């Protein structure tokens, strides 16, 4: 008795596979079928094979890994992505091209046979391809999780041979296909690079305040989501008991508060801030105008600049101000139309990127960054309108432009982690909306970054149309106008402004050594 198949499909195996492979398949099937019948093992392997139907087993495991977070979560995402591609190639392409007849069921012991006999072509094994793709994808992100899952993947692949559903060559071919898909996926969409410490440069002497005397510290209690972080007022009062603490209230502007403090009887010597990137940028602007050094407590969610400057933890910030250790760092200035310049510590941007970040951050705590980035990119670009811009006089149609203080090594559309604090340049990245499928290209660029975008750009006939353009400059002028006359979004360091007139002129320039910041020595900053 055979599995149901068309005679032409059966002939494909004879026509395509060399005789020596068919001979090995026959010997392997005979060796497996003549093994002593062990009911418990036979039942378990048959159940395992059924459990892997339609990849149910792997989706269940992926859900468990996703809940663990960290590397296992990234492994679950990559594993499922690899599985989907590998399964499609095996079942929708491989079986239609190669196919072939399955083993004779009369040669398979009855207790081992599956309840439902597969009727599709034999080569390659879809179960083996899915198992290998998932396990390899997980292992590429989390080696420990991959090692735990490898025996299970091998058992699923062997179950197809043990139950008589496939030949040995089907199993090997499917496993090779699935593993190759995962590896190629890693090359095209690499794992997030481990961030390297920025080149911090030499330290400078700043006022040493062992007890905080002379420090005016602003606290944004709404910043950050870390439940283990101490209550800021209690922490600062304990560590720097003579510092003056001001808890920011709705509507208060740090610049006004600093100006009032400077005219008081005991003007501050240091401006401190506990909060996220937006609050830090406001305090930095006020400190620059007052000519005072800045003390940063990383109390936000991401704390991009604080980590770069050597204040990765609140304890490191306290130690730096006690020791009087700091650095002179570059900042940028953003000038919108004829408004006064605003200090930028990380990134200024025009277009869809501010909305993309807001959408992504809202979901990434529950879904993880890769999935949240994809969903956010779809949502933002579905309703977005392009901008007609002139970048230093050069006309273009774009989705977004981002300008960072200092050159970055980030592979994303918008740079967030500096290589140096004193390189004296801006890192400019333009997300173009040109060529065919501009929304799809923009979605890939936003969700997956520069390398994935570059892959799409290499489609024949598109080589000259790079979706993401990157360059460095000391100053850049951006004239932006919405293609529909609607509002233009301008953001800097997480703060978003909506310019209702539908057009704007934004100039960003680098200010070398524009701010003195407290920070730990380079040797004490973790990689």
Q: CATH number for 347-512: choose from 2.60.40.10, 3.30.70.270, 2.60.200.40, 1.10.3720.10.
A: 2.60.200.40
Q: For 290, left (φ over 0), alpha (ψ -120 to 50), or beta?
A: alpha
Local mean pLDDT, 10-residue blocks, the chain (527 residues): 45 65 78 72 81 87 83 87 88 78 70 71 85 91 88 88 80 89 79 54 85 92 68 90 91 90 91 85 91 87 68 83 89 86 87 75 65 76 82 86 82 66 88 75 68 58 64 90 72 68 80 87 44
Give the architecture (CATH level 2) of 7-188: Up-down Bundle (1.20)
Q: Does the model's pTM come out above 0.75? A: no
Residues 6+ apart with CB under 8 A from 42: 109, 111, 112, 162
* 90: its two tokens: 């095996």
Alpha helices in 92-166 (DSSP H): 95-97, 126-141, 143-162
Q: Compute φ and ψ for 328, nearest 5 degrees.
A: -95, 120
What does each C-alpha distance from 490 to 397, 402, 481, 487 come to in angstroms?
16, 10, 12, 10
Q: Compute φ and ψ for 506, nearest 5 degrees.
A: -120, 130
pLDDT of amino acid 492: 81
The whole-angstrom separation of Cα 198 and Cα 523 is: 12
Going from N- to C-terminal start, the domains of the chain cover 7-188, 206-324, 347-512
Q: What is the dihedral of CA 518, 522, 525, 527, to 10 degrees?
A: 140
Task: Please determine, looking at this structure, whether the domain spanning 206-324 carries the CATH number 3.40.50.10330.
Answer: yes
422: exposed, middle or buried (C-beta count within 10 Å: 0-12, 13-18, 19+)?
middle
> 350 pairs with which residues across the strands?
401, 490
228: exposed, middle or buried (C-beta count within 10 Å: 0-12, 13-18, 19+)?
exposed
Relative orientation angle of helices 70-88 and 369-383, to the nearest 10 degrees: 60
The whole-angstrom separation of Cα 267 and Cα 214 is: 8
**Residue 26, helix vs strand vs coil:** helix
């Amino acid at each position: 008795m055979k599995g149901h198949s068309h005679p032409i499909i059966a002939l494909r195996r004879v026509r395509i596979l060399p005789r020596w492979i068919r001979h090995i398949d026959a010997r392997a099937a005979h060796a497996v079928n003549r093994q002593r019948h062990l009911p418990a093992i036979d039942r378990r392997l048959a159940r395992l094979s059924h459990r892997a139907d339609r990849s149910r087993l792997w989706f269940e495991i992926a859900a468990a890994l996703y809940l663990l977070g960290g590397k296992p979560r990234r492994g679950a995402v990559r594993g499922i992505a690899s599985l989907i591609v590998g399964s499609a190639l095996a079942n929708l392409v491989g079986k239609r091209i190669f196919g072939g007849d399955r083993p004779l069921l009369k040669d398979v012991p009855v207790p081992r046979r599956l309840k439902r006999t597969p009727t599709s072509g034999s080569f390659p094994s879809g179960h083996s391809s899915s198992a290998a793709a998932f396990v390899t994808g997980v292992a590429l992100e989390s080696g420990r999780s991959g090692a735990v899952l490898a025996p299970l993947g091998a058992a699923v692949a062997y179950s197809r041979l043990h139950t008589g559903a496939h030949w040995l060559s089907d199993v090997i071919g499917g496993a090779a296909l699935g593993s190759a898909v995962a590896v190629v996926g890693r090359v095209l969409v690499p794992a997030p690079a481990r961030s390297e410490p920025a080149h911090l440069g030499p330290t400078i002497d700043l006022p040493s305040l062992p007890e905080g005397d002379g420090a005016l510290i602003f606290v944004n209690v709404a910043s950050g989501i870390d439940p283990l972080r101490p209550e800021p007022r209690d922490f600062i009062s304990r560590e720097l008991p003579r510092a003056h603490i001001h808890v920011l209230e709705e509507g208060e502007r740090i610049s006004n508060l600093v100006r009032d403090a400077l005219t008081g009887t005991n003007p501050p010597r240091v401006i401190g801030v506990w909060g996220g990137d937006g609050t830090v940028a406001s305090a930095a602007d006020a400190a620059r105008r007052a000519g005072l050094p800045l003390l940063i407590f990383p109390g936000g969610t991401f704390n991009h600049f604080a980590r770069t400057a050597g204040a990765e933890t609140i304890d490191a910030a306290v130690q730096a101000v006690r020791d009087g250790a700091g650095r002179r760092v570059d900042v940028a200035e953003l000038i919108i139309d004829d408004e006064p310049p605003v200090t930028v510590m990380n990134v200024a941007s025009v277009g869809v990127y501010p909305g993309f970040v807001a959408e992504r951050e809202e979901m990434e705590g529950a879904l993880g960054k890769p999935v949240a980035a994809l969903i956010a990119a779809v949502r933002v670009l579905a309703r977005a309108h392009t901008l007609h811009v002139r970048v230093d006089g050069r006309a273009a149609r774009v989705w977004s432009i981002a300008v960072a203080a200092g050159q970055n090594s980030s592979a994303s559309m918008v740079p967030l982690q500096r290589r140096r604090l004193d390189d004296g340049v801006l890192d400019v990245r333009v997300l173009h909306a040109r060529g065919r499928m501009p929304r799809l290209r923009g979605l890939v660029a936003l969700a997956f970054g520069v390398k994935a975008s570059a892959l799409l750009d290499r489609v024949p006939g598109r080589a000259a149309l790079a979706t993401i353009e990157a360059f460095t400059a000391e100053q850049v002028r951006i004239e932006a106008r919405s293609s529909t006359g609607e509002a233009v979004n301008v953001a800097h360091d997480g703060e978003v402004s909506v310019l209702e007139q539908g057009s704007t002129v934004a100039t960003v320039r680098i200010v070398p050594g524009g701010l003195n910041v407290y920070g730990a020595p380079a040797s004490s900053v973790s990689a």
